[in-house]
Structure 1
């Protein structure tokens, strides 16, 4: 358990941040690839035999393009899982550091760092609240970066779209949608990719804020500009 009586020492968050940024970029790229394959499916058109799921538990043989979409979709799922693990590791470290910097206990107990993403209804605001609390404890008095709200709005749009991060439809079902409702799929994919990009900025912003307050860190100052450089 992490919520001890005394706050722990501030630890470097650089390593977890790098992992989170890398996997967020990987997940964003994977979802962009998924969108490309959906466009390819729509351009090819649905076979005369109909969608992959024929009803009554019957499935027709997949085309070569449909098979490759299954592969791309699986890669996207794997990238999303890796991204979730890395992001939660960073979030946990950043939360611990925020507590050590402020000397105050977080408003939410540590299980919510993980459970807040999966408990229905609660997951609509708790994860954002944890990020907001980290920023406030790490940079008291400073305005919340706008990218946090962009990230959370895009996350919700991609998660609740029905075919986004939390979708329960099978890959064959998504293939059928690509043939009949491509704009809806691309809207969901765009939201997920946008959330990944905004997530990178959130991680970098909060990490930079905490690094500036690490013991022994010298605040960044602009280098003196020499007369020669002023003339440039």
Structure 2
């Protein structure tokens, strides 16, 4: 006769270390900001050099002319920036996953958004305009219902959306040859988008430090003897 299995209960997850994940996310955001600053420098160099007499790299009809050395360099900068962005996204999501689990453990409340939205919320059109911010806000408010949401959360999200609207944002990027052509003809919108994305990365790092510090203090209180 087999032993009776204990009933399955939906217990809150155990507290998870969050400082290390926060440090990794902040470092990744710093690298992403540096990558976009270098990209801005290349935009300026392309604009100052001017478009070659042979026209833009993509000449239509599937015809591409040979790239100049500067254009080749921009392709390399763009590829490195894309790789850094992937690392940054993974580090940010790892931090957010820990913060979300800790919020559930500390508050005993179920998160407002299912775990799947932690990832899908960034890529599903329309809902990606508010769900990622909602996941962050819910994790903080569930632990600190009596505190206002830190203003840095709204600054981060506003700058993120502005960066996406620039047409060369972190998630939705134009083809590299098209960006090169834009740099030759109208570089100011590209530079504006670069500045906004760098600012968004800096604000995200500040948000991570702010929310991590608050949650870590509550975690220390929770594990303190007699708490």
TM-score by length of 2: 0.91
Deviation at 1:215, TM superposition (A): 3.6
Equivalent of 1:115, from 110, 120, 131? 120
Aligned to 1:83: 88
Equivalent of 1:98, from 81, 98, 103? 103
Deviation at 1:31, TM superposition (A): 0.7
Aligned to 1:27: 32
Provide the rounded CA distance (Å) in 2 between the counterparts of 1:152 and 1:216: 30
SS at match of 1:58: coil
8 Å contact from structure 1 (residues 53, 173) kept in 2: yes
Corresponding pairs, count = 216
In the TM superposition, 1:11-22 aligns within 5 A as 11-22=16-27
List gaps (5 residues or longer) in structure 2.
Answer: 1-8
Aligned to 2:64: 59
List gaps (5 residues or longer) in structure 1.
Answer: 220-232
Aligned to 2:73: 68
Detail structure 1 runs of 4+ shifted over 4 Å in the superposition: 216-219
What is the root-mean-square deviation in Å for CA atoms of aligned residues? 1.6
CA deviation vs aligned residue, 1:134-180 (integer Å, no higher than 9, x gap): 11123231111111001000101112322212334211110000001
In the TM superposition, 1:1-232 aligns within 5 A as 5-215=10-220
SS at match of 2:51: coil
8 Å contact from structure 1 (residues 160, 166) kept in 2: no
